Structure 1
Amino acid sequence: MATSGTAVSLSNVRKTYRVGEPVHALDGVSLEVPQGSYTAIMGPSGSGKSTLMNLVGCLDTPTDGTVVVGGRDVGTLGDRERTTLRGTEVGFVFQTFNLMPRLNALENVALPQLFQNVDRTTRLERARNLLERVGLADRADHLPNELSGGQRQRVALARALINDPAIVLADEPSGNLDTDTESEILDLFDEFHDAGTTLLVVTHERHVAERADRIVHLLDGKIEWIEELDESGANGTSRPGSAAGEAGADSE
Structure 2
Amino acid sequence: MATSDTAVSLSNVRKTYRIGEPVHALDGVSLEVPQGSYTAIMGPSGSGKSTLMNLVGCLDTPTEGTVVVGGREVGALGDRERTRLRGTEVGFVFQTFNLMPRLNAVENVALPQLFQNVGRSERRERARALLERVGLADRADHQPNELSGGQRQRVALARALVNDPAIVLADEPSGNLDTDTEADILDLFDEFHGGGTTMLVVTHERHVAERADRIVHLLDGKIERIEDLEGSSESRAGSAAGRGTGREGRRNGGGDAE
Normalization by structure 1: what TM-score?
0.92
Q: CA deviation at 1:186?
A: 0.3
Equivalent in the alignment of 2:76: 76
Equivalent in the alignment of 1:7: 7
> Deviation string for 1:13-69 (max 9, x for gaps)?
000000000000000000000000000000000000000000000000000000000
Equivalent in the alignment of 1:161: 161
Instruction: Supply the distance in 2 between the matched residues of 1:59 and 1:41 (Cα, whole angstroms).
Output: 18
Instruction: Supply the distance in 1 between the matched residues of 2:80 and 2:4 (Cα, whole angstroms).
Output: 25
* Gap runs ≥5 in structure 1: 234-252
Q: CA deviation at 1:123?
A: 0.8
* Gap runs ≥5 in structure 2: 234-258
Q: CA deviation at 1:231?
A: 2.3
> Deviation string for 1:86-139 (max 9, x for gaps)?
000000000000000000000000000011110001111000110000000000
Q: CA deviation at 1:2?
A: 1.7
Equivalent in the alignment of 1:59: 59
> Deviation string for 1:166-211 (max 9, x for gaps)?
1000000000000000000000000000000000000000000000
Equivalent in the alignment of 2:192: 192
User: How many residues of Structure 1 are paired with residues of Structure 2 in the alignment?
Assistant: 233
Q: Secondary structure at the match of 1:4?
A: coil
Instruction: Supply the distance in 2 between the matched residues of 1:25 and 1:159 (Cα, whole angstroms).
Output: 29
Equivalent in the alignment of 1:210: 210
Equivalent in the alignment of 2:132: 132
Q: Secondary structure at the match of 1:152?
A: helix
Listed as ranges, the matches of 1:44-123 within 5 Å are 44-123=44-123
Equivalent in the alignment of 1:29: 29
% identical equivalent positions: 90
Q: Secondary structure at the match of 1:227?
A: strand
Amino acid corresponding to residue 63 of structure 1 in structure 2: T
Equivalent in the alignment of 2:172: 172
Q: Secondary structure at the match of 1:122?
A: helix
Q: Secondary structure at the match of 2:83?
A: helix
Instruction: Supply the distance in 2 between the matched residues of 1:115 and 1:64 (Cα, whole angstroms).
Output: 30
Q: CA deviation at 1:230?
A: 1.9
Instruction: Supply the distance in 2 between the matched residues of 1:220 and 1:8 (Cα, whole angstroms).
Output: 22
Q: Secondary structure at the match of 1:85?
A: helix
Amino acid corresponding to residue 151 of structure 2 in structure 1: Q
Q: CA deviation at 1:232?
A: 4.0
Q: Secondary structure at the match of 1:181?
A: helix
Q: Is the 8 Å Cα contact of residues 213 and 232 (structure 2) preserved in structure 1? A: no
Root mean square deviation of aligned Cα: 0.7
Q: Is the 8 Å Cα contact of residues 150 and 181 (structure 2) preserved in structure 1? A: yes
Instruction: Supply the distance in 2 between the matched residues of 1:98 and 1:209 (Cα, whole angstroms).
Output: 22
Instruction: Supply the distance in 2 between the matched residues of 1:2 and 1:134 (Cα, whole angstroms).
Output: 32
Equivalent in the alignment of 1:226: 226
Instruction: Supply the distance in 1 between the matched residues of 2:216 and 2:91 (Cα, whole angstroms).
Output: 20
